A and B are shown apart, each in its own frame.
Chain A
């Protein structure tokens, strides 16, 4: 009797947990028929992909522009120094 009581007490939470779980999914469910909370929206992914592509390219162009500007300034400065040196 005591053994039966212990077994009942031990298996109780397990039985309770089994009854509270959602029923297992049977068969194939197409992605577009899944519940909303299980679906992954595509819009943020597409927006992120195009945003990143543009962001990477524009950042590179900006850095390239800056580097070109700096080198052209340095070139003009060296040319000016050479001209002033030649004039003396």
Chain B
């Protein structure tokens, strides 16, 4: 894995360097025009946020019921990345909406539920940092609920009337847009995997450092 990591970093950089060429050459959407190009980063960031929330909640559940410290390290790393990719989604979305809908924000089901899910993972991180002894278990429960929100956020556009497009957009994409989109999605997933590996390594180093400090004190 250690030998594979630098190779994957190079691949990820190459993919993100090539992505703008694909996005620029992708055709313009007929009603929205240029502003629709935000789609190629907004949707992959949103799907990466969903993936990260799932990873965080599953790892938190494993930690909660199995008491595995390794799972806790993955949970905290994935929760931080959920907040990171969520931030990208919550900033790029309003920039697109301003042109497409005429407003920066709309309190509709998809936007509100995304914001709530993002705040749940923010709460997880705050609880972990400032919650004191025992906060790891309490925050793990918060992460499990955060992950349970993902299906609601995803299907909210189909269940309620919203201004946000439904989940049928990506499966019915035009072939000329599908290539750049899936390329960007792959690049985002690769970036996520690399960041998760690096962030989990940081947690493992911290745990080792803590054990060493305790050893020094004894």
Contact = CB atoms under 8 A, between A and B. Distances in A.
Interface of A: 40, 42-43, 45-46, 48-50, 52-53, 56-57, 60-61, 64, 67-68, 71-72, 74-75, 78-79, 81-82, 85
B117 interface: no
Contacts of B199: 64
Interface residues of B, number: 32
A71 B38 contact: no
B129 interface: no
Contacts of B37: 46
Contact of A78 (B33, B35, B92, B213): B213
A81 B209 CA distance: 13
A74 B209 contact: yes
Given A72-B205, A78-B212, A49 B87 contact: no
Given A45-B38, A53-B45, A57-B84, A40 B98 contact: yes
A82 B37 CA distance: 56
B7 interface: no
